[in-house]
Amino acid sequence: MERNWTFLRPANPDTILDSMTEEEYARDQFLPYWAELWPATEALFGHIRDFVPKNGDTVCDLGCGLGVLGAALAAWGCRTTAIDIAAAACKYAAANIKLYSPRRSHVVCGDWRQPFLRTRFDLIIAADVLYEPRWVGPVLSFIDRHLAAEGRACIADPRRASWDQFIGKARVRGYAVELRHYTVPNAGSTIETCILSHA
């Protein structure tokens, strides 16, 4: 069923970047990418129902940013866990999820490179989280730890420099890989989605 979606986001993401201190950046070379709605998120949002296993299944929105994917999946009946390392991002994600289905979801603010969850998910989604090569290993390790035996992971990316490395390492780890291409109309971007499942 179609619906009109409205999401909260910073009026001017540049002000968030300008407010960062050198110490904050030096701690983890962290930049507030979460404050933008990137084309990979738009593409995955437009096709996410292709990947929803069924009503009531568990979903993880990894590196959730503004939480728009987690909010949509919660509205469609999934039990969603949205995770981000940035506290400000988690506030926006919680607010956006609350707009649609607060009872089916929760937001976890933490460093998902560290094993602090015990849950295995039927679906793990992530959009534009491989913006630097150093994230390839942590993303795959998270999927290793938290993807259910019959689950799928759907990672969307505009084919950044680390994308082929991610796909190659996923295959080395034994995942079956399916690739799909999407075009974001207004952005003119081609996004590739890698769907991983246990072979």
pLDDT digits (tens, 9 = 90+) for 141-182: 999 999 999 999 999 999 988 999 999 999 999 999 999 988
Residues 139 and 161 sit within 8 Å (Cβ to Cβ): no
Query: What pLDDT was estimated at residue 108?
Result: 93
What percentage of residues in the chain have a pLDDT greater than 90?
44
pLDDT band at 114 (very low <50, low <70, confident <90, very high): confident
CA atoms within 13 A on the CB side of 193: 25
Tell me the one-letter amino acid at 131: Y
Residues 173 and 194 sit within 8 Å (Cβ to Cβ): no
The domain spans of the chain are 38-198
Judge whether residue 1 has pLDDT over 50. no
Judge whether residue 24 has pLDDT over 70. no
Judge whether residue 110 has pLDDT over 60. yes
Average of pLDDT values for 106-131?
90
The residue among 43, 54, 102 whose CA lies nearest residue 78 is 54
pLDDT band at 6 (very low <50, low <70, confident <90, very high): confident
Residue whose structure tokens are 């390839």: 136
Residues 41 and 128 sit within 8 Å (Cβ to Cβ): yes
Instruction: Give the residues across from 155 on adjacent strands.
Output: 126, 194
Across the chain, what does the average pLDDT equal?
Answer: 84
Judge whether residue 17 has pLDDT over 60. no
Per residue in 31-40, pLDDT (tens digit) is 567 677 788 8
Q: How far is CA 160 from CA 41, 49, 60, 135, 186, in A?
A: 14, 25, 23, 12, 19
Higher per-residue confidence, 59 vs 37: 59
Tell me the one-letter amino acid at 67: G
Reply yes or no on domain 38-198 having CATH 1.10.3470.10: no
What percentage of residues in the chain have a pLDDT greater than 70?
81
Average of pLDDT values for 36-62?
81
Judge whether residue 127 has pLDDT over 60. yes
Residue whose structure tokens are 């437009």: 46
Q: How far is CA 47 from CA 32, 103, 135, 193, in A?
A: 25, 23, 24, 10
Q: How far is CA 109 from CA 6, 19, 143, 187, in A?
A: 23, 20, 18, 30
